[in-house]
A and B are shown apart, each in its own frame.
Chain A
Amino acid sequence: MSARNGVWRAVDERLGLSDFAYSVPRHANSLPYSLGGITAIGFLVLIVSGILLSQYYHPMPQFANDSVRAMMQGVRFERIVRGVHYWAAQVVLLTVLLHMIRIFTTGAFKKPREANWIIGVGLLAVTVGLFFSGTVLKWDQEGFEALEHNTAIGELLGGLGHWFAHAFAENVSLLLRLYIAHVSILPGILVLLLAAHFWLVKRHGISQRPGRPVGEMLPFTTHLKHLARYGLVLLGIILVLGVLLPPAVGPAPVEGIEVTKPPWPFLPLFAFENWVGVPGLFWASVGLFILLLLIPFVDRSPEAPPAARRARLASGFILLLALVGLGLLAWLTPGAVHVGG
């Protein structure tokens, strides 16, 4: 027995690492089936860059915007770290959405995986929450207007929206509470949901490709190695984007004006808000999440092949196209005053 094998056996005896060598189908290594793992790697990049950013960020309203501007003008790595964090957030949200589209298309949410789909929708909600709170933390006009919308929705909800009211904690600014949500509450929920998500993936196994045999099986550790390869590409892309296209930051906010449009994930909702005001923004978001939660209960047939689910797939893609269309519409139409103003 070589020294290397000896060390491995000693470590494995104590940590049980060989338990990770359980079987997964070979197709788990294909890009569409690796999107969930790629997203998890993206979250790791976000956590590391977020910890670094928190060393330079000041979460008090009178200093927040200045601290971000100082990062952007810094001579060290702060600007690059902020660029990496920003682009990692964009990429993660995109891969989460692509992952969900893959699950929907291949019918991987069907029995017995309904609970994992619901956890996945919860993960999407937390990811959107992290994206939103990150936008507010810049404390520029865009961030401030985002918070104004949230406060307006909080008022709409009455007692349920109390957390977003200043009365909740008179002596602690909403920005500081949102910062705490961004760096501890939401990541905590994310980790719990991710743990449940991974556990259920292991319990039910990686879903079969619809209409095709399972094929050859590989150890999960081989899948992890393959994910690490995708992770290298992902990290490389984020680093290059973070350096070449660093995100801008607006000036310190002024209350009572509305000059910005929301970031791209919220643009489709902005169109609803343009039509019916803040209630439109709220009800459209609620409706969208309810639709997502209902998918496994509406599409209950055991057939997963796309050919057997044409109507349901078509409905899903029409909804997706409508959201993209609404987003484009909101992007092209002039900005509007919805709150404050």
Chain B
Amino acid sequence: MKRHLRWVAAGILAAGLVGLAAGGALAHKGKLPEDALTLVRQAAALLAQNPGMTGEVRERLQAALKSKKPAGVHLDQVAEALRALDKKDIGTARRLLLAAIMPAGMPMPPEGPGRPAAQMPAPPESAAAAPDRPPAAQPSPPSVDETMRMGEPLRARFTGSAAEVLVAALGLALIGAGVLSLWSGREAGRS
């Protein structure tokens, strides 16, 4: 009986811990930004990195549509993205969101927490300013497709290139040599 009670107590404790941790997921929500551009950028990033967070995305898009600072955003495309989200068409929603903010330019990473987005430095005025390079041509703005691709995690895979095969073979050879050497010198590790 006592044993059963112990298990019940452990179960209640575990359930409590899980409940607390899950509850914590909603416990520390902050304030949403006021400008539509930031809200839409955040929504697009959320969709790219965690498409399951549609609640957060919807909340931001609705706030963007009602925002008093709509500069740099095509709100009609945001509304269309919201409709695509209702149809669970995440890809289209993301594409529309990026198209909606493209007039504001390619989103740049922030300088740090609480800091504005980084500013791309102006290209050097003459070749003398960057002696190791020819004068740079003005870069063309990226397409929506390119922006979509850059907004997704880059997952590298083993491609089987000569360099990879060579290094993997070297690694296996080192493991083999090390294990053999440890085996032959095992007396040294014994006492």
- Residues in chain A within 8 A of chain B (CB atoms): 25-27, 29-31, 60-62, 64-65, 69, 72-73, 76-77, 79-80, 83, 139-141, 144, 147-148, 151-152, 166, 173-175, 215-216, 218, 222, 225-226, 229-240, 242-257, 259-260, 271, 273-275, 277, 329-330, 332-341
Contacts and interface: CB of A to CB of B under 8 A. Distances in A.
A148 B181 CA distance: 47
B153 A251 contact: yes
Interface residues of B, number: 68
Given A141-B49, A229-B181, A274-B27, A61 B153 contact: no
B42 A77 contact: no
Contacts of A336: 24-28
A64 B111 CA distance: 11
B109 A79 contact: no
A62 B171 contact: no
A333 B153 CA distance: 22
9 contacts: A141-B49, A144-B109, A151-B114, A173-B111, A231-B178, A235-B178, A239-B174, A240-B172, A333-B24
Given A225-B185, A274-B20, 12 more contacts: A175-B111, A243-B164, A243-B168, A249-B154, A250-B49, A251-B49, A254-B44, A255-B113, A257-B45, A259-B46, A334-B22, A336-B25
Nearest to A79: B156
Interface string B157-182: 11000011001101111111111011
A277 B174 contact: no
Contact of A335 (B25, B120, B174): B25
A243 B170 CA distance: 11
Contacts of A240: 168, 171-172, 175
B45 A62 contact: no
Interface in B104-122: 107-115, 118-121
B30 interface: yes
A165 B54 CA distance: 33
Nearest to B155: A248
B133 to A, nearest CB: 15
Given A240-B172, A255-B110, A330 B21 contact: yes
Contact of A252 (B150, B155, B171, B189): B150
Contacts of B182: 226, 229-230, 233
B152 interface: yes
Given A29-B188, A275-B21, A69 B154 contact: yes
A338 B109 CA distance: 20
Contacts of A250: 49, 153-154
A60 to B, nearest CB: 8
Contacts of B24: 273-275, 333, 336
Nearest to A68: B154
A255 B32 CA distance: 11
B81 to A, nearest CB: 16
B56 interface: yes
B109 A64 contact: yes
B87 interface: no
Contacts of B154: 69, 72-73, 248-251
Given A216-B191, A341-B29, A76 B163 contact: yes
Given A77-B163, A140-B153, A232-B181, A253 B172 contact: no
Interface centre among B38, B110, B185, by most A CB within 10 Å? B110
Contact of A249 (B45, B115, B153, B178): B153
A-B interface, 5 closest residue pairs, ranked by CB to CB distance from nearest: A274-B24, A239-B171, A232-B178, A236-B174, A236-B175
A236 B25 contact: no
Contacts of B150: 69, 251-252
Contact of B111 (A61, A229, A238, A256): A61
A239 B171 CA distance: 5
Given A236-B172, A249-B153, A277 B27 contact: yes
